[in-house]
Copies of this chain bind each other. A is one copy, B any other.
Amino acid sequence: MIQELKKSYGHIFESALLNEIVQVGTYKEVPAGHKLMEIGAYVKGMPLLVSGALKVLREDKNGDELLLYYLEKGDTCSMTMTCCMGQTKSEIRAIAETDTKLIMIPIQYMELWTSKYKSWRNFVFESYHSRLNEMLHTLDSIAFDNLDQRLIHYLKEKTRVNNDNIIHQTHQNIAYELHSSRVVISRLLKKLENKGQIVLHRNAIEIVSLD
């Protein structure tokens, strides 16, 4: 755990804080697909991502999903933080996109460290900052982009986050994450295939070139 921690956070946190993290944090490895946070659940800890990626999802009244953004190495979940402070329930769902390593910090240290460590404060602010910006860009794409643009962006992000230019997903799953329907996604994917930008397989999409 110590090496992992140092690798991802060594240059951000002062060593006293790193030591505290080692003391109170719990190291966890979760497999792809594992659900780390559910909507309406109370938050017990705050995750520091060491490797891998989480996807953060929102749900509508009908239970349909929408992918908000990914969290990666060096990120933490700002939504979780806000929940900790306010003692409110989670507004989002978080699922491991890939096999993921992370350190869970019990929530009571959040506030303590905020007064104690400057680097922690900066980290927390920085984290809010990036999450707000990600939300803005997610919102941009939903408000301003067509579904085909959103799909291309989705495919790009998927390959980047998974570091694999074959995406192992069914059309149905993609439709869920984009809050659309399978038929529509299949059609748009077929169009991309016809343009030579991707190759379709069962349960998999091979990215050729999306530019």
Judge whether A140 is part of the interface by a CB distance below 8 angstroms.
Answer: yes
Query: Does A107 have its Cβ within 8 Å of any Cβ on chain B?
Result: no
Which residue from B61, B114, B122, B143 sits with its C-beta under 8 Å from A179? Answer: B143
Copies in the complex: 2
Contact B91 A144 (CB under 8 A): no
Q: Which residues of B contact A138 (CB under 8 A)?
A: 139
Is there an interface contact between B143 and A78, defined as CB atoms closer than 8 Å? Answer: no
* Complex contacts, A128 vs chain B, CB 8 Å: 78, 82, 128, 132
- Residue from the list B85, B92, B132, B143 in contact with A82, Cβ < 8 A: B132
What are 7 A-B contacts defined by CB distance under 8 Å? A58-B140, A61-B144, A64-B144, A79-B132, A85-B125, A132-B132, A132-B135
